[in-house]
Amino acid sequence: MVLSTRSFSQNIAAQHWADSVFNTLSDEERIAQLMVLRLSTYDFKAKTAVFFDKEVAEAVQKYNIGGICLFQGNPVKQAEVINYLQSIAKTPIMTCIDAEWGVGMRLFDSVQALPHQMMLGAMQDANIVYQYGKLVGEQCKRLGINVNYAPVVDINNNPNNPVINDRSFGEDKYKVSLFGIEYMRGMQDVGVMACAKHFPGHGDVSVDSHLDLPVINKSLEQLDSLELYPFKQIFKAGVGSVMIAHLFIPAIDNTANRATSISKKNVTDLLRRDLEYNGLTFTDALEMQGVKKFFPDGEASVQSIIAGNDMLCLPGDVTLSIDKIKDAIKKKKLSWDDIYMHCKKVLVAKYMYGGGKFQPINTDNITQDLNAGIPEMKKLVAENAITLLAKSNEAFFPLNIDQKQNPDVAYVGIGLSSDNAFAKRMRNDYNAAVFYFNYKQDESRVLSTIEIIKKKYKKVIIGIHAYSRTPANNFGISTPVIDLVNQLQDQTNAVTIVFGNPYAIKNFCTAKNLIACYEDDSIVQNAAADLLQGKFEAKGKLSVSVCDQYKFGSGIMESKKILPEVNPDEVMLDIVKLNEIDSIGNAAVASGATPGCVILVAKNGKLAYQKAFGYYSNDKKEPLTTDAVYDVASVTKMCATTLAIMKLYDDGKIDLKKKLGDYLPWVKGSNKEGLTIENILLHQAGLVPFIPFYKETINANGIPYTKYFSTSKNDSFNIPVAKNLYLRKDWNDTMYKRILQSPLTTSGKYVYSDNDFIFLGKIVEAVSGKPLNEYVKEKFYAPLKLTTTGFNPVNFLPLNKIVPTEQEKEFRIQLIRGYVHDPGAAMFGGVAGHSGLFSSAYDLAIIMQMLLNGGTIGGKQYLRKATIDLFTGYHSEVSRRGYGFDKPEKDNDTREEPYPCLSASPLTFGHTGFTGTCAWADPKYNLVYIFLSNRVNPSADNKKLLNENVRPKIMEVIYKAMQ
């Protein structure tokens, strides 16, 4: 019995515990274990929560009921009631909540709610959804909750859906699947059971199942290709439970008025037999009219068990339901064995998501704890979801004008009667005039408002606020409002910003400048104001189609991505198998192999996977993001120096058969003069691996001599090696002298050497007439629009974007952040042929994809394909190397530890870096794999990343995920 992807040993322990508890229960108690009772409701007239704690306590003491479901109520009161009920329970009570967008969805009097799922669906970064799920899971744990009835994995392809709508991630089955799995994983990773709902798919209805039984007239083939798809994927991914919807679907069960929640054909045949789902099932609330209307007075409870459900959500009268179930057993409609099986399954779930015991909830600071992290998550979602749909000119993008001197901006707040956060920003930032127009005003106000605005204001910002989330009566948006907005759009220079359910945008699709914001709270409003000011770029795309002009996926990306983001399925990568990467990444962080890592997979020129795990540093203060910039170490050799050599070779300026002395006059007369460029690229020139230049500049205690270093920059000490540490400007000559004086081993023997690439970097400079960093920036990084790739990143990036490396104990004696980790490269001023390059994973992937594409990307040719094929091929009889590129071992099939992984094709090329990085590309599969980490933080002595084979394991998972 597997209720999630939790450990085998935990499953065994759960079985033993469940069997022992089961033996202590009476038969009536075994039935009652299948029931989840409502703990409270909300009296909207009195504006207060009404608790049923006395009634529930009676059911606990009399029948030992299995679960309770939290609804409205203050957190302290909720916790106190839960503590009391658990204290009197014979068996721990499963505590559930229906909190799709966080516990603030229910505890709205004291806890902020998170954004609805449709706003999440506008984001392109699935990792944020995972973090969202973790945050919701932590909220649940703080309140003693074992199960959250989330995520919704219904595909909302009906704009008029009155019950799901913006609770869905959207209309695309791939995105719904991916984001649903990430939400689920986030919760279950912190020990809270997720519940996929509403099976078999509640998205295409126009009736609210709270009020009646919705009908879906689709064939099984149609259901299988769309509605069932996310459920199949999340089942494979290990979701602990599923909620069964109240729907009438004749293709599944044509019995009159039989909802899917009480249909054996749906629950036992389709869900259990055909889809092989063995997790826990909850019915949707049995008090809803979709089922209660036709099966009242406990009959719905009986039919739910007959159908094959495990848990009955909100069954109403407990005594009546138990009596009717016992009567059904007498009539042979059910058996006690059925009850026993469901009961044991519920008990197993209690152990797996609660350890079989209840820890009393500490109410100290509980409200503060439940709100922790909410504003930050809402801001993160807003900045990744807000969608720019139309942009006719640059007047509003950004809107950076000094209105204090010349006030000519008007803000029209639709649905407002007083200033909200956005209106205040318009007043404060632009000295804007603010006009209110509510949904009850008539046409007479429209013309007068338009005339005033046309005469006085050059720029008009229109905000659509405070409309209904549900589509009934056009979201409550009146005809005069639509007329006013459309006329302002036509007759003035205006931008329309829609704050709320995106389906309402259908009324404003003719806007020349249009922004979708999805929610209407102060955080989203401030984010929208920040977007207008150019403080961040729009990243969102519509999660649903709203009109002919704006379909799913619409959205202007201010910086068009060279590698478009797609769901893994679209490039034939199995989502569930690919998510095994998450386990490896999280395990690497947990074991201390690295403080954090960013992992990227691109397939067929599209970004299929990009996630960040862990933290910037070992102190765990800064959570890692996917745009973090890493010291890529010796990946520099491939993505800087070799690129430059290839370009010069392309241009006929370098001959691989020529010798070092042909390009560098200063090596003549040394034993390095006759080394061929070809052998240097292959690491077969006989150079020693490296020279610890810094050793002769420090004393016995590892402290730099003052004759070589200064803590301030001046004419004599002008080479920055770290923060507030500068090398004497003439010391580079000594370093080159040490290389020339170094011994040579046998030519043609493979010895991986930094010195090979230090020489190659100098060749680039000698031939091109430019420093290596400037040449690669001019020829590659700038035209590719790589904003994070380059040397000495402290000169062009904020420090908080750059991941720190080692806490050096000698030489620089500080945390290295923004300066190259390699001490030799640092002493060369941060620019060397062997090390010094920094980059984000995404920018690095663009370089690798350009090489995969035969030198072309974004409509521009950077290198000839023939040159790429030459350099990335095998060229050695004694090693696996190409020209400047690492390659798979030639005998991988027979190696105990294949490199870079077993399934990499012989065409694969790339490089692996000392600090915990790698970049690989496989032309056979048009595949790019990037792994960036700082395993040297805090110390380079940490070898766990290597010993645990983290990078090869992830690479192998990628190949196994190919369909």
Q: Is 586 exposed, middle or buried (0-12, 13-18, 19+ CB in 10 A)?
A: middle
Nearest to 588 by CA among 946, 133, 957, 182: 946
Residue identified by tokens 């991914």 is 237
User: Ranked by mean pLDDT, which of 403-412, 509-518, 554-563 comes out on top?
Assistant: 509-518
Whole-model pTM over 0.85: no
CA distance 385 to 498: 13
CA distance 244 to 164: 14
Strand boundaries in 277-423, DSSP class E: 280-283, 312-313, 387-391, 409-414
State pLDDT tens for residues 639-692.
999 999 999 999 999 999 999 999 999 999 999 999 999 999 999 999 999 999
Q: Find out whether the peptide bond into 75 is cis, omega within 30 degrees of 0.
A: no
Tokens of 263: 């249909």
Residue 401: what pLDDT?
Answer: 66
Which residues make Cβ contacts (< 8 Å) with residue 650, sequence separation at least 6?
Answer: 863, 864, 867
Tell me which of 377 and 535 has the higher pLDDT.
Answer: 377
Asked if residue 1 has pLDDT above 50, the reply is: no
The DSSP-derived string for 588-641 is HHHHTS-SEEEEEEEETTEEEEEEEEEBSSTT--SB--TT-BEE-TTHHIIIII
Mean pLDDT throughout 99-115? 92
Three-class DSSP category at 940:
coil
31 residue type, one letter: I
Asked if residue 840 has pLDDT above 50, the reply is: yes
State pLDDT tens for residues 885-940.
999 999 998 999 999 999 999 999 999 999 999 999 999 999 999 999 999 999 99
Query: Under a CB-based contact definition with an 8 Å cutoff, are residues 942 and 936 in contact?
Result: yes
Residue 402: what pLDDT?
Answer: 61
Share of the chain above pLDDT 90, in %: 84
Mean pLDDT throughout 473-480? 95
Strand-by-strand arrangement of the 717-722 sheet = 709-710, 725-728, 717-722
Helix axes 318-330, 299-307, angle to 10 degrees: 50
Report residue 60: phi and psi, to 5°: -65, -45
Helix axes 336-352, 299-307, angle to 10 degrees: 80
What residues are paired with 815 via a beta bridge? 807
Asked if residue 812 has pLDDT above 70, the reply is: yes
Residue 701: what pLDDT?
Answer: 93
State pLDDT tens for residues 449-470.
999 999 899 999 999 999 999 9
Which residues make Cβ contacts (< 8 Å) with residue 613, sequence separation at least 6?
Answer: 582, 585, 586, 588, 589, 596, 597, 598, 599, 624
Three-class DSSP category at 37:
strand
Asked if residue 10 has pLDDT above 70, the reply is: no
CA distance 652 to 851: 19
Asked if residue 796 has pLDDT above 90, the reply is: no
Name the helix (H) or strand (E) containing 838.
Answer: strand 837-839
State pLDDT tens for residues 87-101.
999 999 999 999 999
Helix axes 8-22, 336-352, angle to 10 degrees: 130
